Structures are given as C-alpha cells and as structure tokens.
C-alpha cells in the first residue's frame, strides 16, 4: 500500500504542509522540523475522469474550459486547481471514511445496504444517484461489485466525489426543507443527456452556452440557489439512524447540523456557507480558453474546512490514494485550510491575571469567529485549551491539555478510557482537568460510544457557539449539554474559563501561555478502527501510524504575572 518514500515521512510533523511549515511545536515527542527529515516526493496526480453517462460527467469534462482562469489581480482562480485536493473532491477516497463505513456495517450486517446507501449518497453522489435511477441496489459500496471496486462501471464517477455536475445540477425546489436534508437533493433525471442544466449565478451568453452544450451536453442556466446555504445543507445537515441494544432501529440522530447552527447565528442575515468556504475572487474572472465577459462576483472553489490532518495524509500518500490532485495542489489546499483555521476561526485572550499566596489566576477568553459551532460536523472533531505556566527560570510549573503525537490529550477522561468523557469546566485547578470543546455520543443505554449507529444523542456538547446563538431557546438537536447550559460564561460567541493554579514555592514572574488546539480525528475515533481486521481499517491505521496526529494551533495568547 505505502511507498517507501511515504514511510520516511513518518518522522515529519503530521501537519507540515509544504516546506518548513510546522503547525505544532513543543507538543508531544520531539519532531523533525524544516527539512531535517525526508520529505515525500512530488507527485503529479492522475487525470481527472472524463466519463459521462445520461446524468453526469466527470470533472475532466469540465476542466477543458474551466481552467486557466484569472481574476483582475492576475491570480489563478481555476476551478479545477482549487477543487482537486479538497475533501469534497476526495470524499470517496477519504481512507478514514472508507474504514469507518466498513466498521459500521460490521456492527450491523443486516443494515449494510442501508448504511452504504446513506453514506454514498453524499460521498459518491453521481454514481449512487445513477444506480438508484437504474433501479439497481442503490449505494452498494464495499465488496465485489461495489462502487469502491475498480471494476465497477461507475467507479470513476464514484471516485470523483462531490464533483461539478453534481452540485451544479441540484434543483432549487425544496432546498432548506426537511426532505432535502441527509442527501435529499433533487436531480432532474428526465432531461435529455445533451440538454442538462448547469446552474450558476450568471446570465447566460448564448454563444458560450452553445459551445458548452456542444462540448459537454450541459447548458448554463442562471439560478441564485447555488449561492444559498440551503444548497450546502442538503448534505451537511445529516441525520443517521441509530440502533437500540437489541439491534433494532430506534430513531434518528443529528450527526451534523451546521446549517441549523448557522440559522441560529447572526450570520444568517449576511453570510451564507459560500461566503466563508467559497470566498470571492478579486474583480471579474474570465477563462483564457473560450474568453467571454468577466464574471463577478466569482466564488473561488476552495471549499476550505478544517481537515488539515487528512491533507497531510494526502501529501504523504497521494499516489497510493490515486489522487487526481498533484502534491502542489495538496500543499496549496493544506495551506488554505490552515489559513482558514488560524485566521478566521477563533481568537484567544488572557484577562484578569493575578498572583497572590502562591496562586496564579487568569481568565481565558475564547471567541468563535465561525458561522456555526466550532468544531462542527462529524463528532470525531475536537478543540481544546492547552495552558502552560512557567516560572522565572522557564520551568513548567503547570500544564493542562498537553497532547502526544497520536492526538491523545493528557488528562482527558475519554482518551484514557473510551467509556468515559471529560466534562465541561467552568474553573480549572488541576493538571488533569482540561477544557475540551466537543460532542460526545451515548447509546440508548447511556453508554459513551464512538460507533455512529449506536449514537442516540449527545451526553456532552459544549462546542463553541457562533455569535448570536441563544443557547436557552435553541432547538434540542443543537442545544448545548446541561453543564454548558448552566455556565453563564459559555454564551453565543464563545467561552470564558477561569484558571486558578497553585504554583507552590515557584518564583515569578510567571509566564502564562494558552493555545486553542484542534484535531479533526480524535484519538479514540481513530483507535477504534484498529480492532477490526478489514482492508480499509488496515489501510487507514497504516496512514495514521505513519503520520503523527498532531493538532493545529488555531489561536494563542500569552502574558506575564507576579513580577
């Protein structure tokens, strides 16, 4: 599975995207930095697929014209260059997703078809939609004859992930309604193969439209719905079935709800999903292939999120994963993802520092800058506060929230025992106490679980709320847990945590440093896969063991006290 070059990269900081970029320094074991360890060799990536059927075409059918695009500053904003290395483009190749789906089906073999159909609806939407229309077994993923099988006739379209002719063909009717969620988007499969819509926000140019139709069979049609949050909500508002202790389906679970979180924020009046995840280019944009008038505002297809760790796996194992992105594309997407996390996600401040009678006190103020909860989406994601106090000699006299290279948080009850969890804290006094912003699932018997099909609800959800979010009136599916609800300092827009630390006989002045750290795959969410002897689990765990699962430093603050 792995190239010998990729194995050498296991010594490099997991989230080093590009030469010399180290996201985490000083956490866990000593790691090689700035080229001290072997770097993965560049790779070109495979060609984008040009496969076409009655409903969809691979991204390669679009890039012949939608490349070499520049904005008024001269910057390259080509759609294919931005999209290729994103999680949307690689939704079907994501090794963590593939392993997780297989594990879920092993836990409920009688529901294998149901599980795989639900998951492929949004991870392999073109292939799954085609199969469903053809009245075949929809959504079959793993095993001989599944969409993940290279011999399947729709495998190329399946592996193209969330591609151009999927999103740009979603019909506007019903978006934002309950039936549209969990992959309930509508595609007009009755239209002729040579006259299919390509919805976009711009008025059509008849001459260019004729060129596009002749070349691809898709006809540009103006519709503002492609700029609305409701389009994204069709897959990113996801309810999954859960099972009781007897293995029977007992209800539905809100696996991810960023759309509802956004609806309850101040951003609903000004900034849809696309405003942050598809920022606009500078001025008008043209394509040098066919020309035409500049289009503005042009949404860059960056689709930035927070999964820097998977970008590091892509960079190390791009050839093994058969990416259609080059190493250069992956590095660029990783850098944009990092910039999103560190520049527009959250901020930190230290306030009310004091020192008296061997006690250092400080308030850590966390501000959520995102338009939804942070972290949001799949419940494997977590953010936490790492606070260190050093004495006058630079000696560490207190630390809360340290982490090792597997992403295991020191003091976290859940990382130490998968059946437990770390509660929300108002005040932290001891090193084993750590403020972790996360969602923790429980099954119908109240046991903590990392198996999605067993998750009947959240026993903990203290993820940072967006500005404008009223935690008292929020609907139950997005309400915080009881401890966060009772914490007057946990509000829409952020949190305030008090640290009251006895430093004993240590001498000041004391330096207080705090970081907000983030991981897209928590330790036990990865480790649970190790117990399963499947090809998918083995593949992901090999990547996980080779690429240290170190967190991103989202924000930092420091100050001195007791001088």
The 10s digit of each residue's pLDDT in 436-453 is 999 999 999 999 999 999
Q: Which helix (H) or strand (E) holds 527?
A: helix 523-527
Average pLDDT over residues 54-62: 95
- CA gap 405, 408 in Å, rounded: 7
Q: What is the pLDDT of residue 290?
A: 76
Provide the b/e sequence for 6-34 (b: ≥16 CB within 10 Å): bebbbebbbbbbeeeebbbeebbeebbee
- CA gap 480, 440 in Å, rounded: 11
**Are residues 135 and 129 in contact, defined by beta-carbon separation less than 8 angstroms?**
no
Single pTM value for the model = 0.94
Q: Which residue blocks in 58-154 are alpha helix, DSSP H?
A: 60-63, 79-83, 95-107, 112-123, 125-133
Share of the chain above pLDDT 70, in %: 93
311 Cβ neighbours under 8 A, 6+ residues apart? 17, 85, 330, 333, 334, 337
- CA gap 417, 60 in Å, rounded: 47
| Higher pLDDT, residue 523 or 6 | 523
- In this predicted structure, the answer to whether residue 11 has a pLDDT above a threshold of 50 is no
- In this predicted structure, the answer to whether residue 249 has a pLDDT above a threshold of 50 is yes
What confidence tens digit (pLDDT) does each residue in 450-462 have? 999 999 999 999 9
**Are residues 314 and 85 in contact, defined by beta-carbon separation less than 8 angstroms?**
yes
- CA gap 492, 427 in Å, rounded: 19
- In this predicted structure, the answer to whether residue 13 has a pLDDT above a threshold of 60 is no
Residue 184 DSSP code: -
CA 341 vs CA 20, 257, 546: distances in Å: 18, 19, 24
**Are residues 490 and 517 in contact, defined by beta-carbon separation less than 8 angstroms?**
no
Phi, psi dihedrals of residue 463, rounded to the nearest 5°: -60, 145
What is the CA angle 440-445-451, rounded to 5?
Answer: 45
Residue 164: asked if its preceding bond is cis (omega within 30°), the reply is no
**CA 200 to the chain's CA centroid:** 25
**Are residues 229 and 275 in contact, defined by beta-carbon separation less than 8 angstroms?**
no
Q: What is the pLDDT of residue 38?
A: 65
Closest alpha carbon to 177 in 228, 115, 243, 119: 228
Task: State the first-to-last Cα distance of the chain, in angstroms, to the nearest integer.
Answer: 56
**Are residues 536 and 99 in contact, defined by beta-carbon separation less than 8 angstroms?**
yes
Q: What is the pLDDT of residue 33?
A: 36
CA 287 vs CA 66, 410, 526: distances in Å: 6, 51, 42
What confidence tens digit (pLDDT) does each residue in 324-381 have? 999 999 999 999 999 999 999 999 999 999 999 999 999 999 999 999 999 999 999 9
Q: What is the pLDDT of residue 138?
A: 61
Phi, psi dihedrals of residue 366, rounded to the nearest 5°: -110, 130
- In this predicted structure, the answer to whether residue 5 has a pLDDT above a threshold of 70 is no
- CA gap 60, 107 in Å, rounded: 37
**Are residues 547 and 311 in contact, defined by beta-carbon separation less than 8 angstroms?**
no
- In this predicted structure, the answer to whether residue 20 has a pLDDT above a threshold of 60 is no
- In this predicted structure, the answer to whether residue 84 has a pLDDT above a threshold of 90 is yes
| Higher pLDDT, residue 186 or 27 | 186
Q: What is the pLDDT of residue 65?
A: 87
What confidence tens digit (pLDDT) does each residue in 261-292 have? 999 999 999 999 999 999 999 999 987 777 78
- In this predicted structure, the answer to whether residue 493 has a pLDDT above a threshold of 80 is yes
Strand, coil or helix: 494? strand
- CA gap 344, 341 in Å, rounded: 6
**Are residues 416 and 555 in contact, defined by beta-carbon separation less than 8 angstroms?**
no
**Strand order of the sheet with strand 291-295?**
69-70, 285-287, 291-295
Q: What is the pLDDT of residue 319?
A: 96
What confidence tens digit (pLDDT) does each residue in 496-523 have? 999 999 999 999 999 999 999 999 999 9
Strand, coil or helix: 294? strand
Average pLDDT over residues 405-411: 95
Phi, psi dihedrals of residue 360, rounded to the nearest 5°: -95, 130
Out of 82-91, 113-122, 143-152, 480-489, which region has the weakest mean confidence (pLDDT)?
143-152
For the chain, the average pLDDT equals 92
**Are residues 246 and 453 in contact, defined by beta-carbon separation less than 8 angstroms?**
no
- In this predicted structure, the answer to whether residue 34 has a pLDDT above a threshold of 80 is no
Average pLDDT over residues 140-162: 92
- CA gap 312, 317 in Å, rounded: 9
- In this predicted structure, the answer to whether residue 32 has a pLDDT above a threshold of 80 is no
- In this predicted structure, the answer to whether residue 14 has a pLDDT above a threshold of 50 is no
How many CB atoms within 10 Å of residue 247?
14
Beta bridge partner(s), residue 443: none
Q: What is the pLDDT of residue 39?
A: 78
CA 30 vs CA 11, 37, 124: distances in Å: 10, 12, 39
Exposed, middle or buried: residue 280 (CB in 10 Å: 0-12, 13-18, 19+)? middle
How many CB atoms within 10 Å of residue 269?
7
- CA gap 441, 460 in Å, rounded: 7
């Amino acid at each position: 599975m792995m190239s010998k070059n990729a194995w050498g990269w296991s010594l490099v900081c997991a989230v080093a995207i590009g030469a010399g970029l180290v996201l985490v320094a000083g956490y866990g074991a000593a790691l090689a930095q700035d080229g001290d360890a072997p770097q993965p060799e560049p790779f070109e990536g495979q060609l984008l697929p040009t496969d076409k059927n009655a409903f969809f075409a691979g991204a390669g059918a679009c890039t012949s014209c939608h490349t070499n695009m520049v904005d008024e500053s001269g910057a390259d904003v080509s759609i294919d260059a931005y999209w290729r290395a994103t999680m949307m483009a690689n939704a079907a190749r994501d090794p963590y997703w593939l392993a997780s789906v297989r594990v879920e089906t092993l836990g409920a073999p009688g529901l294998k078809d149901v599980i795989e159909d639900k998951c492929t609806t949004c991870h392999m939407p073109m292939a799954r939609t085609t199969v469903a229309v053809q009245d075949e077994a929809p959504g079959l993923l793993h095993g001989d004859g599944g969409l993940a099988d290279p011999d399947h006739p729709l495998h190329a379209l399946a592996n193209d992930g969330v591609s151009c002719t999927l999103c740009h063909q979603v019909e506007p009717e019903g978006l934002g309604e309950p039936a549209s969620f969990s992959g309930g988007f509508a595609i007009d499969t009755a239209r002729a193969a040579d006259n299919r819509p390509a919805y976009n926000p711009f008025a059509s140019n008849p001459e260019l439209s004729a060129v596009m139709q002749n070349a691809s069979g898709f006809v540009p049609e103006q519709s503002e719905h492609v700029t609305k949050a409701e389009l994204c909500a069709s897959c990113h508002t996801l309810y999954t079935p859960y099972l009781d202790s007897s293995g029977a389906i007992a209800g539905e679970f809100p696996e991810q709800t960023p759309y509802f979180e956004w609806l309850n924020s101040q951003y609903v009046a000004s900034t849809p999903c696309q405003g942050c995840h598809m920022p606009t280019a500078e001025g008008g944009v043209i394509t040098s292939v066919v020309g035409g008038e500049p289009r503005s505002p042009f949404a860059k297809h960056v689709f930035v999120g927070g999964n820097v760790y998977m970008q590091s796996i892509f960079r190390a194992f791009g050839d093994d994963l058969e990416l259609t992105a080059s190493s250069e594309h992956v590095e660029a997407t990783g850098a944009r993802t990092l910039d999103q996390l560190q520049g527009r996600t959250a901020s930190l401040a230290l306030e009310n520092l004091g020192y008296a009678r061997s006690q250092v006190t400080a308030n850590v103020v966390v501000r959520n800058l995102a338009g939804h909860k942070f972290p949001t989406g799949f419940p494997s994601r977590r953010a936490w506060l790492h606070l260190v106090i050093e004495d006058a000699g630079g000696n560490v006299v207190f630390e809360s929230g340290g982490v090792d290279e597997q992403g295991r948080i020191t003091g976290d009850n859940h990382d130490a025992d998968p059946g437990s969890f770390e509660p929300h804290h108002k005040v932290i006094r001891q090193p084993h106490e750590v403020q972790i912003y996360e969602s923790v699932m429980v099954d119908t018997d109240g046991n903590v679980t990392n198996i999605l099909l067993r998750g009947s609800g959240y026993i903990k959800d203290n993820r940072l709320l967006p500005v404008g979010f009223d935690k008292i009136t929020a609907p139950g599916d997005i309400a915080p847990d009881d401890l966060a609800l009772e914490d007057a300092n946990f509000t829409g827009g952020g949190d305030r945590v008090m640290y009251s630390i006895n430093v004993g006989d240590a001498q000041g002045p004391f330096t207080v440093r705090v970081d907000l750290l983030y991981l897209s795959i928590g330790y036990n969410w990865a480790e649970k896969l190790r117990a399963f002897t499947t090809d998918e689990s083995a593949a992901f765990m090999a990547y996980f063991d080779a690429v240290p699962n170190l967190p991103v430093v989202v924000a930092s603050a420091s100050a001195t006290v007791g001088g």
